[in-house]
């Protein structure tokens, strides 16, 4: 069954770094993950998620106002 994790914290508290590290570890374990980000965030490229420390990955889903999460294949997540 899919799980959604929500992390929050102040600016500079390594939220993105933690996300990318966990995503890397899950993929190393053969687990399927979906990385989502808002389409409005174009600081490091439209489809890139990047930490201040330099780690980066490509987003699997770009969220816009009209995005419906019902059409996404979650099998294996």
Q: What is the mean pLDDT of each run of 10 residues along the chain (77 residues)?
A: 82 92 94 89 88 91 81 66
Its pTM stands at 0.75
| Alpha-helical segments (H) within 1-74 | 15-28
**Hey, is 24 helix, strand or coil?**
helix
Give the pLDDT of residue 76. Answer: 62
Give the pLDDT of residue 70. Answer: 75
Rounded to whole angstroms, how far apart are CA atoms 71 and 35?
15
Give the pLDDT of residue 77. Answer: 62
Tell the residue number behind the tokens 């890397």, with chain if given. 24
Give the pLDDT of residue 20. Answer: 95
Alpha carbon separation from 51 to 14, 37, 64, 67, 74 (Å, rounded): 8, 13, 21, 24, 26
Tell the residue number behind the tokens 């980066």, with chain if given. 56
């Amino acid at each position: 069954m899919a799980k959604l994790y929500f992390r929050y914290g102040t600016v500079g508290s390594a939220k993105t770094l933690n996300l990318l590290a966990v995503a890397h570890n899950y993929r190393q374990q053969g687990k399927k993950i979906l990385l989502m980000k808002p389409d409005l965030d174009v600081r490091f490229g439209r489809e890139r998620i990047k930490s201040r420390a330099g780690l980066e990955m490509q987003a699997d889903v770009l969220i816009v106002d009209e995005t419906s999460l019902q059409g996404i294949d979650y099998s294996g997540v």
